[in-house]
Amino acid sequence: MNVTQVTEGDVDEAGKAQTEQKITVEKEKAKSKSQQFARPSRQKKKDAYLAETYSQVTQDVIQQISFEQKLDHDWVAQLIRAQMSTTVSRLIADQMLAFRRGYVFVRIPGLNEFPQIAASARNRFQERAEHYVSRLTNHVVRALKRRVPETGDIQELTVQARAVMDSFRYRTGFIEDVEIRKAVVDGLPEALQGTFAITVQGR
């Protein structure tokens, strides 16, 4: 009868293999979490509330030119400011959700002051959201006044106005993407923020 003998070396090898497998699994889990917070924009891109509102504003400007047979700069400026201002509260809400994701990424024993931390974060987010949305709005309004006359050939006015609006469109996605990313990082403990830090330029 054949008897399979298990030596001490075999046991050691099996233990090493099991340990290596556990390490590999843990590394994959950590990598998955890192990717989740390094690219939060993929989760938020389907919303794109700021970009959607901007697209609607563009259509409203074009319709106004067609209806009035001119570009009323004062009316258009009020329209753009009124509609873009509605995006601020939605952006802040998305920032707070992202902040909470960062906060719960690592549970720190004894850290129960989330309401106070969240309130402070919301103030920062509101200041940033209002700043960047307002600055974008002002740039669009000034560009329209500078580059598109109030009267002239309607087709040409339409083409020029659309070109101006389209030239700023990319900034809506950029603002939304960066602010959501920054909110996730803000929610992390300070010891981890450097790992996920994002350098932001050109807004």
pLDDT of residue 101: 85
Where along the chain do its domains lie? 11-193
pLDDT of residue 122: 93
pLDDT tens digits, 151-187 = 999 999 999 999 999 999 999 999 999 999 999 888 8
CA–CA separation, 148 vs 171, rounded Å? 20
pLDDT tens digits, 124-148 = 999 999 999 999 999 999 999 999 9
Residue 84 CB contacts under 8 Å (≥ 6 apart), including other chains: 53, 54, 57, 133, 136, 137
pLDDT tens digits, 153-163 = 999 999 999 99
pLDDT of residue 193: 54
Is there a contact between 108 and 189 (Cβ–Cβ < 8 Å)? Answer: yes
Is there a contact between 102 and 37 (Cβ–Cβ < 8 Å)? Answer: yes
